[in-house]
Amino acid sequence: MSKKLRTRNHKVVLNRSAGGDFGITVFLVVFGAFMFIPLYYAIVQSLKPLDELWNYPPKFYVVKPTFSNFGDMFKSMSSSWVPFSRYIFNTVLISVGGTFGNLFLGSLAAYTVSKIKFPGRNMLFSAVRLSLMFTATVTAIVNYMTMSALGLVDTYWALIIPAWGATLGMFLMRQFMVSGISDAVLESARLDGSSELRTYWTIAMPMVKPAWLTLIVYSFKDLWNTGASTYIQSEQLKTFNYAISQIVSGGIARAGVGAAAAVVMLIVPVTVFVISQSNIVETMSTSGMKD
Amino acid sequence: MSENAVGKSTKAPKPVARKEMTKWQWTWKEMKRNYAAYLMCAPYFLIFFMFTVLPVILSVFFSFTVFNMIEPPKWYGLNNYMRLFLDDEIFIQAIMNTLVFAVMTGPVSYLLSLFTAWFINELPPKIRAVVTLIFYAPSLSTGMTFIWKILFDGDSYGYANSILMRLDIIQAPIQFFQNETYVMPLCIIVALWTSLGVSFLSFIGGLQTVPKDQFEAAAVDGIKNRWQELWYVTLPNMKQQMLFGAVMAITQSFNFGTVVNDLAGFPSVNYCAHTIMHHLQDYGGQRFEVGYSSAIAVVLFIMMIGSNMLVNKILNKVGQ
């Protein structure tokens, strides 16, 4: 045990051994390398000019970096009659449309079940909590039938509308609201004659910014990664992620372009995450399975 | 709002006195009084019930029928389940693979998330943010899975093959994703690579909530090292996050079929990485045997919920 008290995240840290510090550092470096190397390799691949991609053995660094792969991305699917930008447009449209619907409807529902005492609210929330325990795989078949009954198969709506009812962001927002919004403030607003809708919009929502940023990140991330879907058959409605899988199946000749597309695919959610990281961590401090 | 405030305070509805009424009358009164609340949450819950709750209920019903989406469903009793468990060898293989995936990825990913979050918690905030991003980034994009396909490409341009060949460990390139020996282990590794997601962030958030003075108090009380500190101070304080993280990790661990699709294709060679999810995809999405595939979905549902409940029970006992 080190005798000196060191300053770290919290003011005084006791009980730290040099051996433990060393072990933890080794773990973080090794595990961090495992996590980072594939990302690094993707970036390197995306910057390699064609002749370096064909180098044997493949190199772990790039000699003459070029952005031409990113430009070629738009030409690479020339065999397909849908322009590459269309796939990106589809993904952006689905992600933005789904996220905002989920944000609005989800936060409204989260506010209602956490801050208005009405019969049935605990049951409703329990259903949401239970839904975290299984995935969309279970619901896929019936949802396909529902979509075709509604005539939504092969439209953007088939991907957007279910996203409005996504549960993770709503769940986290509700948990954050329970402790994040003071009931006394809401009560005085109600006594002032503010309607519930108005209270939600002008008082509750500004108080839970971390929670709605978290909802945006999760909803956006899920929708952004939408790949081939049973709901979508027309080529012109397919997504960016689907296009990448088509490019990558082209093998080594397309490796640079594939990596470039994968990097673009990653950069967008990473940027969204970096902007909101501290807010997400704050929201997560109230996550929990309790009522 | 202040301009509305004058003289309108009587407008706020008063809670109904409960005394003179039966329980149902009271509930009904309360429902009428809060009609705005129902309207406000109706759009969300309508969509939620339609695409999340209803499918589960209907799947249970369809699983007892024969249904091909054209003719109306016919009652079939337990025959779908009999066929699944007694007559479908590939399904048994799928259950085994799903369990291997879940057991290998769920607990490992949970512990990796917990310990990594704990280890980086003591780094200075700026560095911690960067390190968090490195660990979290792989889970942000499923598109990144493809880089593993390039790293483990089947010809000599694959990075793994080229290294192994230069070191003379192998003579000819290995078709990693066409070879039964390698598909499952590689898919598990890649699944783990993408698995530091929601639970990881939840642990990071939870660690921030542990009151700092408790560490100092614990040190005075004779906590000797960081492991004791973790066990006696940190974990009891973040129990809620541990439960939530477990749910996230377990649910995710049953859902790694997509990784197999991306890496080994569908169906994987000789069904060696065939999971329940793939079986469902096969019968539901391609053969349109709704009754049979609903039975598969129900089995998957029970496995997911069951393991979540079980682990929740166990974790609830820890640290009491």
**Region B309-315 average pLDDT:** 90
- B62-81 pLDDT tens trace: 999 999 888 888 999 899 99
Contact at 8 Å (CB) between B138 and A35? Answer: yes
A281 touches chain B (CB under 8 A): yes
**Phi, psi at A230, each rounded to 5°:** -65, -25
Structural domains of chain A, with CATH: 18-66 (no CATH), 78-284 (1.10.3720.10)
Residue entry with tokens 């820890």? B318
A29 touches chain B (CB under 8 A): no
Establish if B151 belongs to a structural domain. Answer: yes
- B135-194 pLDDT tens trace: 999 999 887 888 888 888 777 777 888 888 888 888 888 888 888 889 999 999 999 999
Q: Please indicate whether, in this complex, the C-beta atoms of B51 and A200 are within 8 angstroms of each other.
A: no
Contact at 8 Å (CB) between A264 and B181? Answer: no
- Cα-based distances in Å from B86 to B97, B271, B273, B304: 17, 18, 21, 22
Q: Is residue A27 predicted with pLDDT exceeding 50?
A: yes
Select the more confidently predicted residue: B10 or A291. Answer: A291
Which residue range is the domain that position B149 belongs to?
85-317
Establish if B135 belongs to a structural domain. Answer: yes
- A203-214 pLDDT tens trace: 999 999 999 899
- Interface residue of A50, A146, A153, A289 to substitute, partner B, most B CBs within 10 Å: A289
| Banded pLDDT at A132 (limits 50, 70, 90) | very high
d(CA B105, CA A287): 22
- The pairing of beta strand B74-75 with beta strand B65-66: antiparallel
- B196-219 pLDDT tens trace: 999 999 999 999 888 888 888 888
Q: Is residue B2 predicted with pLDDT exceeding 60?
A: no
Alpha-carbon dihedral angle through residues A208, A213, A219, A225, given to the nearest 10 degrees? -170
Residue entry with tokens 């939840």? B202
**Region A118-134 average pLDDT:** 94
Establish if B19 belongs to a structural domain. Answer: no
- Output DSSP code: residue A58: P
Establish if B283 belongs to a structural domain. Answer: yes
d(CA A217, CA A207): 18
Contact map slice: B 69-108 vs A, CB within 8 A? 69
Highest mean pLDDT among A10-24, A107-121, A225-239: A107-121
Q: Which two tokens stand for residue A206?
A: 């500004």
At residue B55's C-alpha, the angle toward residues B50 and B56, to 5°, is 125
- Interface residue of B146, B170, B186, B260 to substitute, partner A, most A CBs within 10 Å: B146
- Confidence at residue B176, expressed as pLDDT on a 0 to 100 scale: 87
- Confidence at residue B16, expressed as pLDDT on a 0 to 100 scale: 57
A19 touches chain B (CB under 8 A): no
What's the one-letter identity of residue A85?
A: S
- A65-120 pLDDT tens trace: 888 888 888 776 666 677 888 899 999 999 999 999 999 999 999 999 999 999 99
Contact map slice: B 264-303 vs A, CB within 8 A? 277, 280, 284-285, 290, 293-294, 297, 300-301
Identify the weakest region by mean pLDDT among A261-275, B156-170, B241-255.
B156-170
Work out how many domains chain B is built from and give that number: 1
Facing A138 at nearest CB: one of B124, B137, B297? B297
Establish if B286 belongs to a structural domain. Answer: yes
Q: B65 - beta bridge partners?
A: B75
A125 touches chain B (CB under 8 A): no
Q: Is residue A242 predicted with pLDDT exceeding 90?
A: no
Q: What is the mean pLDDT of chain A?
A: 87
Facing A288 at nearest CB: one of B4, B55, B241? B241
**Region A118-143 average pLDDT:** 93
- The DSSP code sequence of B111-149 is HHHHHHHHHHTTS-HHHHHHHHHHHHGGGT-GGGHHHHH
Q: Note the ipTM here.
A: 0.89
d(CA B261, CA B239): 35
- Confidence at residue A1, expressed as pLDDT on a 0 to 100 scale: 38
- Confidence at residue B18, expressed as pLDDT on a 0 to 100 scale: 58
Q: Please indicate whether, in this complex, the C-beta atoms of B44 and A170 are within 8 angstroms of each other.
A: yes
Q: Is residue A3 predicted with pLDDT exceeding 60?
A: no
Q: What percent of chain B has pLDDT over 70?
A: 93
Select the more confidently predicted residue: A75 or A186. Answer: A186
Helices (H), B88-233: 89-120, 125-136, 145-151, 159-166, 180-193, 198-209, 212-220, 226-229
Q: What is the largest CA-CA distance in chain A?
A: 75
**Region A136-141 average pLDDT:** 90
Q: Respond yes or no on whether the N-terminal peptide bond of residue B211 is cis (omega within 30° of 0).
A: no
Q: Please indicate whether, in this complex, the C-beta atoms of A283 and B205 are within 8 angstroms of each other.
A: yes
d(CA B208, CA B211): 8
Establish if B36 belongs to a structural domain. Answer: no
Select the more confidently predicted residue: B58 or B141. Answer: B58
Q: Please indicate whether, in this complex, the C-beta atoms of B294 and A9 are within 8 angstroms of each other.
A: no
**Region B89-99 average pLDDT:** 93
- B259-282 pLDDT tens trace: 888 888 888 888 888 999 999 988
CATH number of the structural domain spanning residue B286: 1.10.3720.10
pTM reported for the whole predicted model: 0.88
Q: Which two tokens stand for residue B243?
A: 């439960």
Q: Please indicate whether, in this complex, the C-beta atoms of A280 and B205 are within 8 angstroms of each other.
A: yes
Question: Residue A16: its chain B contacts at CB < 8 A?
Answer: 226
